[in-house]
Amino acid sequence: MFASVTETGTKLLSTFDHRRARELCVDILRQADIHVGGDRPWDITVRDERVWARILRDGSLGFGEAYVDGWWDSSQLDVTIDKLCRARLREHVKDSWVLIAHAVKARLLNLQTPTRSFDNGQHHYDIGNDLYEAMLDKRLLYTCAYFDGTDDLDVAQTKKLELVATKIGLRPGMKVLDLGCGWGGFSAFAAERGATVTSYTVSKEQVAYIKDKYAHLPIDIREDDYRNASGQYDAVVSIGLMEHVGPKNYRPYFELVDRCLAPGGVGFVHTIGGNKTTAHIEPWFDKYIFPNAVLPTLAAMIAAMQGIFIPEDVHNIGEHYDPTLMAWWKNFDAAWPRLEAKYGSTFYRMWKYYLLSCAGGFRARETQLFQLVFTRQGTPAPVGRRGF
């Protein structure tokens, strides 16, 4: 977000002119309808005046870190972030040297190599099942739910699974490949409906969980990188994987799906999407939450499948991620008393910043959730068409 601000910031910092730093930030926040020291729930309370210099030096990374350190606060953080996004302050962030450094890193290195993706998965998903069990729905679905006529997270996650099932034409006897299966929520849903499922995850904890909980179901669970998948399936599904795939691997991803799809098969992707092509996510999220993740644009994914698959259906359900994240936040906050001893108080503010700022970003439609259905040319009739 912090604009051309960071440019100006570098100069300002050399003189440590805190007063001018403060004035500059306060003015920008006011343009976004956020008052420093105001009493509306989304206004900002400052607890450490060094926050302004930190924002000017480190941009959005410093903004997030300063929040976690308790230097500033907001009693409705999601609304604060929503307003910041809407004010389109983030648009100018491309000038920031922090982001430039990230962009160069991402362009020079193909960060999502098979070896690294183990680290990525482990960093986030192996934190501890107890945290996710407290925060998520009963199936531990860690992706956007579908709040279609409900405000209950469990119901909304079931509706999401039904939506995916409809789109891929799920039926008994179907062979399904689930790439990046998480805690196996969709794999189990499909297996319970008569499909045989092969599922990939790089997280040991998730593999152990699935082997234990779904031992009675025909799920072949593999602790392996999705790129090592083989065989022939009637549907190849990934729900929340593409964010970790990386732009250089979109084409190989679709080539892999092509190799694994039986004739007449259907491909399905569910992923968070960005509005513009970038080679990085917000640096705070890159550092603390999802290292090396990149939000794909729809343009990049559609371009990557061209000549291999025909796009059948694209559905942007980003509006549903706002209530999903707010439900996760409520669950996490309620469970905190029994999590605190293990995770510590800094984790609480980090996790709160993660969940609520994401909710604000989806509310402002800064980020999207795309569901894509695609088939090979030659598939006579698309499956799972909508009922408009």
List, by residue number, the catalytic residues: 358
Tokens at 110, concatenated: 């193909």
Contacting residues for 230 by C-beta, under 8 A, at least 6 apart: 259, 260
Residue 327 half-sphere exposure toward CB, CA atoms < 13 A? 25
Give one word for 349, left, alpha or beta, with left for phi > 0 and alpha for psi -120 to 50.
alpha
Q: Which is nearer to a copy of itself, 54 or 160 (CB)?
A: 160
Site for a copy of itself contains 216 (CB under 8 A): no
The residues, any chain, with a CB within 8 Å of residue 372's CB and separated by 6 or more, are 267, 268, 269, 270, 271, 301, 311, 313, 314
Binding mask 79-118 for a copy of itself (x = CB under 8 A): -------x--------------------------------
Size of the site for a copy of itself (CB under 8 A): 38
| Closer residue to a copy of itself in complex, CB, 139/167 | 167
Instruction: For the segment 295-324, give every residue that binds a copy of itself (CB under 8 A).
Output: 297-299, 302-303, 306-307, 310-316, 319
Instruction: Work out how close the CB of 292 gets to a copy of itself at its nearest, in angstroms, rounded to a whole number.
Output: 23
Choice from 166, 262, 287, 348 touching a copy of itself (CB under 8 A):
166
Strand positions, DSSP E, 50-139 = 72-73
Please report how close the Cβ of residue 366 comes to a copy of itself at its closest, in angstroms.
7
CA–CA separation, 270 and 273 (whole Å): 9
Give dist(CA 142, CA 183) in Å, integer.
Answer: 8
Q: Does 379 bind a copy of itself (CB under 8 A)?
A: yes
Which tokens sit at 283? 């640096």
Shorter beta-carbon distance to a copy of itself: residue 139 or 159: 159
**Beta strands at 45-46 and 72-73: parallel, antiparallel or unpaired:** antiparallel
Binding mask 229-258 for a copy of itself (x = CB under 8 A): ------------------------------
Residues near a copy of itself (CB under 8 A) are 86, 148, 163, 166-167, 275-277, 297-299, 302-303, 306-307, 310-316, 319, 363-366, 368, 370, 377-382, 386-388
